[in-house]
Structures are given as structure tokens and as C-alpha cells.
């Protein structure tokens, strides 16, 4: 039986840091409110000409270097983003060219904040089926581009960045299981209402911006992530105590703490980057993973539970023996 395992991780953040105090000058908010309600202290925001592809490329290079893999080794690229550089080609194809990789399949996945978990599941399935041997899986966003900087309910929450992993075929797991779900009935609680086919709001002459009913999303996220944690443990016949590290989507510290409590996992065993990164959507899980791998917290052989929840609604998890 063929499995896939993580061979290397990488990430990239823009240079520009925007603190909560900076946002106090733009919208009616306060550092205290943002920290109390979300745990966020700052976020990184892409420069004027910096794109999702730029961040993705750097994260991918670092992941390939950590994995000891070159362009000739990669035979699949899956990139999760809600904020592609262009309508087409896919950002995966743009990054493929910059990395001097040629011929292998490359495509984008759109599952908003759950995007990386979806991308990882897709790549894992390619490898398990024997259709790829070494895949580059990227979550990358310039979410700041779709924020309404006059809406204090959303603009304080998000940031930009990219994270990547290289996964390779292995006789031993690796990725033990992935669990993906979606329910489009909840689309309007968290969405960008405009788009290519529907057109853009010509009256307001505004770009397409994120709209969110935060409190309703919060409640759904807590319940849904609680359920997917149970589903993941049950399907693998594991106990809560078998999990060494929780690597959650970094949307809100209160949600993260709730899931940690459910797992009876001390907060020291949870990778928390929300204070520094904010919510980077599809980049948040691989960014957090890379931080904890590089600072030496996550070690080979440990059991990782990744989970995410986002627009769609979409939600998912991955159980990984690192």
C-alpha cells in the first residue's frame, strides 16, 4: 500500500506588518477589542505589487529545499487560494513556471479557509492512487485585496501569507486520513457576493469584498470543528491522548482554545500563530505547521491533527504522522 508523507515545509510572509494600533487609525476599533475577541495582535499585508503567486513561490522554494527536492522531482502541484493572481491561468500554473517545473498537472483549489486541507487531501489521493509520487501543496493568499477596509467587522481579522509542503510517496504513513465536508446552504454567512460571472457592483464602483456574519460563523465553526475532531479520531480508532499537536486554522483564539479543550490538549500542544499572522485563510494551517517544524516543536514521528473551517461552508481535517 502506498501512502504519502510530508517531506518538507516552507512559508513566506510579506514584509509589511500592520498592528491593531495601525487599524485604530482607519476604523472605529481598538487593540483591546481585537485582542479580547480574536487574539490577533498584528497581521502581515502584501505590498502594492506583491501577489499570491509571489508568496506561494517563496513558500514552495523553502518547502522544496527542506524536502531536498528539485524541480525535476515534483510531479503534481496543488495550490489553494481564494485570491489568485489572475482569473486564469491558475496560480498553480504561474508558480509552476517560476519554479521551472514543466509538464506535471498543476491546478488551484478554492475552498477558502479550508483550502489547504482540501489541497492536501487531493494530493494525498493522487499519490495513494499511484498518479503522482512527489507533490507540492501550497496554501497562499493576499486576502487583504478582498477586504473592505471600512468594515471593522472583517478588516481587522485577516492577513496575507503562504505556506507549503512537499509530500512524497512512502510505504508507511504519513497522512493517515483526510476528511472533507461542505454545505453550500451557508454561503451567505461568509462570502464575497460579487464575481466574474455575476459581475461587479457598478453602482458603488467597488471591488468584491468579504462579507461575514461573524457571530453566526463563530458558532458554526465551534460546533463543526468539534464534530470533525470526533470523526477523525473515531475513523482512525484513536484516543484524544494520541494527538501530539493540534494545528488549527487560525481564525480566532477563542475557537482554537475551545477545540483544544475538547481534545483535552494543553494549549502548549497547540500551534497558535493567530496573534502574529491573523487569519490568512488557505495559508493559515501550512504557515502554522512550518513555524512549529522550523522552531523544533514538531518532531518526526509525532501525531498531528490539522483542521480548518471556512466559507462555503467548507470544513476538513487531516491526521498526519509527521
Supply the residues annotated as catalytic. 113, 249, 279
CA 264 → CA 179, 186, 216, 229, 272, distances in Å?
21, 29, 25, 12, 16
Candidates 9, 11, 38, 142: give the one binding ligand UT7 (CB under 6 A). 38
Which range of residues in 34-42, 88-96, 124-132, 287-295 is near ligand UT7 by CB under 6 A?
34-42
Work out whether 11 is an interface residue with ligand UT7 (CB under 6 A): no
Pick the closer one to ligand UT7 by CB: 3 or 118.
Answer: 118
Interaction with ligand UT7 in 264-303: which residues (CB under 6 A)?
A: 279
Q: How many residues bind ligand UT7 (CB under 6 A)?
A: 21
Comparing CA positions, the residue from 211, 213, 210, 208 lying closest to residue 194 is 208
Which of 17, 22, 33, 297 forms a contact with ligand UT7 (CB under 6 A)? 33
In angstroms, the CA 189 to CA 209 distance is 13
Contact letters for ligand UT7, residues 130-159 (x by CB under 6 A): ----------------------xx--xx--
Choose the stretch contacting ligand UT7; rule: CB under 6 A; options: 54-62, 127-135, 231-239, 251-259.
251-259
Give strand pairing partners of 194. Answer: none
DSSP assignments along 26-81, one per residue: TSS--HHHHHHHH---EEEE--TT--HHHHHHHHHHHHHHHHT--GGG--EEEEE-
DSSP 88-100: SS-HHHHHHHHTT
| Residues of this chain that bind ligand UT7 (CB under 6 A) | 29, 33-34, 37-38, 113, 152-153, 156-157, 214-215, 217-218, 221, 251-252, 255, 279, 309-310
Amino acid at each position: 500500500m502506498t501512502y504519502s508523507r510530508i517531506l518538507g515545509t516552507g512559508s513566506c510572509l510579506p514584509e509589511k506588518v500592520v498592528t491593531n494600533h495601525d487599524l485604530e487609525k482607519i476604523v472605529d476599533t481598538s487593540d483591546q477589542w481585537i485582542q479580547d475577541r480574536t487574539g490577533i495582535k498584528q497581521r502581515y499585508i502584501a505590498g502594492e505589487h506583491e501577489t499570491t503567486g509571489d508568496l506561494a513561490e517563496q513558500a514552495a522554494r523553502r518547502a522544496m529545499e527542506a524536502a531536498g527536492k528539485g524541480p525535476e522531482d515534483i510531479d503534481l502541484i496543488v495550490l489553494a487560494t481564494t485570491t489568485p493572481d489572475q482569473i486564469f491561468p491558475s496560480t498553480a500554473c504561474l508558480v509552476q513556471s517560476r519554479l521551472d517545473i514543466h509538464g506535471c498537472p498543476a491546478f488551484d483549489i478554492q475552498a477558502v479557509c479550508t483550502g489547504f486541507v482540501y489541497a492536501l487531501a487531493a494530493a494525498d489521493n493522487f499519490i495513494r492512487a499511484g498518479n503522482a509520487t512527489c507533490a507540492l501543496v501550497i496554501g497562499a493568499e493576499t486576502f487583504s485585496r478582498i477586504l473592505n477596509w471600512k468594515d471593522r467587522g472583517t478588516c481587522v481579522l485577516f492577513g496575507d501569507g503562504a505556506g507549503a509542503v512537499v509530500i512524497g510517496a512512502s510505504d508507511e504513513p504519513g497522512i493517515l486520513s483526510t476528511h472533507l465536508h461542505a454545505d453550500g446552504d451557508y454561503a451567505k454567512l461568509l462570502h464575497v457576493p460579487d464575481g466574474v460571472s455575476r459581475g461587479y457592483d457598478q453602482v458603488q464602483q467597488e471591488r468584491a469584498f468579504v462579507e461575514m456574519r461573524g457571530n453566526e460563523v463563530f458558532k458554526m465553526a465551534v460546533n463543526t470543528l468539534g464534530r470533525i475532531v470526533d470523526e477523525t479520531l473515531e475513523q482512525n480508532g484513536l484516543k484524544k491522548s494520541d494527538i501530539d499537536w493540534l494545528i488549527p486554522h487560525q481564525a480566532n483564539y477563542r475557537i482554537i482554545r475551545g477545540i483544544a479543550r475538547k481534545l483535552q490538549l494543553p494549549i502548549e500542544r497547540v500551534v497558535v500563530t493567530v496573534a502574529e499572522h491573523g487569519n490568512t485563510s488557505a495559508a493559515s494551517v501550512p504557515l502554522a505547521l512550518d513555524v512549529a517544524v522550523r522552531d523544533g516543536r514538531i518532531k518526526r514521528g509525532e501525531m498531528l491533527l490539522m483542521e480548518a473551517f471556512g466559507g462555503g461552508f467548507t470544513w476538513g481535517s487531516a491526521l498526519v504522522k509527521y
